[in-house]
Amino acid sequence: MTVRTEEELRAAIRREMPGVRADLERLVRIPGIAFAGFDHGHVERSADAVAELLRGAGVPDVRIVRKGGQPAVIGRRPAPPGAPTVLLYAHHDVQPVGDLAQWASDPFEPVERDGRLYGRGVADDKAGVMAHIAALRAFGDDLPVGVVVFVEGEEEYGSESLEDLLREYREDIAADVIVIADSGNWDVGQPALTTGLRGIVNGFVEVRTLEKAVHSGMFGGAVPDALITLSRLIASLHDENGDVAVEGLLRMPSAPLDYPEERLREEAGMIEGVRFIGTGRLVERLWTRPAIAILGIDAPPTSGAPNALVPVAKAKFSVRIAPGDSAQRVYDSVVEHLRAHAPWGARVTVELEQLGEPCVIDAAGPAYDAAREAFAAAWDGAQPVDMGIGGSIPFIATFQEMFPKAAILVTGVEDPQTGAHGPNESLHLAEFERVCIAEALLLSKVSRLTV
């Protein structure tokens, strides 16, 4: 086997980038959205395209698999004798585009502006898929590790069948190192390993005060309407400071990074005069403490609303939970809180939508050392930092449980301007090349670990 030097790998990635970019654009043109109500034929085409890319990148055993949900792609290439096997994860499905009017260009027709490529999924997570392909192409026939490439087709829709897939194909996907390319870096030019992710608890709360709508003049003043009642119940979820008021939720210390207030304001697009909520360092509020948001409300629309007391209203809540907490326990606490705070004796019903576990990664050991070296080299000497993210990748906890000895590296292409899930999602192209170089260097360094 030819041993490639760092310089050779860099040069190989540079040579591959135009093709990688073209294939990324091809993937972005396939609107594969796993959500209910979307044409899942596109997800099928997207899986086919990923399978083709893997075969073309020298992965001999490629299969499209499913367990009731959307198609995932598993590609395998056995390890050379004595070398470790690396699992490369990404997802090929994307978020819906939301309000099209907010997009400066067609979400499914990628375009470059000022060094960034724009389109839905161009970063999250089709660039993750292509970073794996790029690293494989850089080695050609001389791949020094075994690989299992696992590209999921329904991550954005909650990975419902992933657990079953992992259990069914457990033997096929077992690996010594797992690279999950679905996060990002601390800043452009500043690489990071993601070492903590929050979990997620989504559900619905319905409040009923009346059997039916009644005249708001005849009854208002003595009879509570469901929307005011729901508003008070929702208001009870935070205290005066804007900290979560539900009891029993875990709060953890976070990485020693500082998120400058101005940067956060700017990245979130907070309008002038709006203040932050909660207490503690900003990174703690974002990464290692709980947060609760209301994502939607079912109630009569304002246009055409009659002068009537609303009998029933429903809200969707979303709780992000700290690394180390348990999703089921948090859900139980939220249910208890909502029942105990029912205003004016209203009937409160709570329904679960989704539980996703948080995770903490102890990023110590030879695989993490290799990753840090690879990152520093790819970013011309900038040392990677450990960071958290406030978002969730619930199946990492499943990987930890199924493969307790494997080192899990959470990497990715996102930067603070990426705008994943929002309009005008974009990829910083120069940073993308560094991510690809880093992954090639990582595979090379990991190949020298003893297994």
- Is 93 known to be catalytic? yes
Could you tell me where the DSSP H helices lie in 220-359?
A: 226-235, 261-268, 282-283, 327-340
In angstroms, the CA 249 to CA 334 distance is 9
The stretch near ligand BES (CB under 6 A) out of 134-142, 154-162, 289-297, 302-310 is: 154-162
| Residue 209 binds ligand BES, judged by CB under 6 A | no
Kindly state the tokens that stand for 145: 């590790």
The catalytic residue among 23, 25, 93, 152 is: 93
**Binding partner of residue 391 among Mn ion, ligand BES, none, CB cut-off 5 to 8 Å per kind:** ligand BES
- Is 187 known to be catalytic? no
3-state DSSP assignment of residue 196: strand
Query: Which run of H or of E encompasses 9?
Result: helix 6-28
Minimum Å distance from CB 226 to ligand BES?
28
Residue nearest ligand BES, CB atom distance: 391
Residue in the block written with tokens 């705008």: 419
- Interface with ligand BES (CB under 6 A), residue from 32, 110, 119, 158: 158
290 close to 321: Cβ distance less than 8 angstroms? yes
**Which of 125/225 has CB closer to Mn ion?**
125
Binding residues for ligand BES, rule CB under 6 A, total 15
In angstroms, the CA 215 to CA 217 distance is 6
**Which of 23/124 has CB closer to Mn ion?**
124
3-state DSSP assignment of residue 159: coil
The stretch near ligand BES (CB under 6 A) out of 182-190, 214-222, 244-252, 324-332 is: 182-190
Q: Which of residues 386-425 bind ligand BES (CB under 6 A)?
A: 389, 391-394, 414
Kindly state the tokens that stand for 195: 């070492």
| Residue 356 binds ligand BES, judged by CB under 6 A | yes
Residues that bind Mn ion (CB under 5 A): 124-125, 182
- Render the burial of 90-129: b for 16+ CB within 10 Å, e for the rest: bbbbbbebeeeeebeeebbebeeeeebbbbbbbbbbbbbb
**Which of 153/224 has CB closer to ligand BES?**
153
Q: Which of residues 114-143 bind ligand BES (CB under 6 A)?
A: 124
For 363, residues 6+ apart whose C-beta sits below 8 A from its C-beta are 193, 195, 386
Minimum Å distance from CB 70 to ligand BES?
13
DSSP 415: -
Q: Which of 237, 215, 394, 384 minimizes the C-alpha distance to 315?
A: 237
The catalytic residue among 155, 325, 414, 431 is: 155
Q: What size, in residues, is the chain?
A: 451
**Which of 110/391 has CB closer to ligand BES?**
391
The stretch near ligand BES (CB under 6 A) out of 43-51, 134-142, 177-185, 302-310 is: 177-185
**380 CB neighbour count, 10 Å cutoff:** 8
Footprint of ligand BES (CB under 6 A): 124, 155-156, 158, 182-184, 200, 356, 389, 391-394, 414
Instruction: List active site positions.
Output: 93, 155
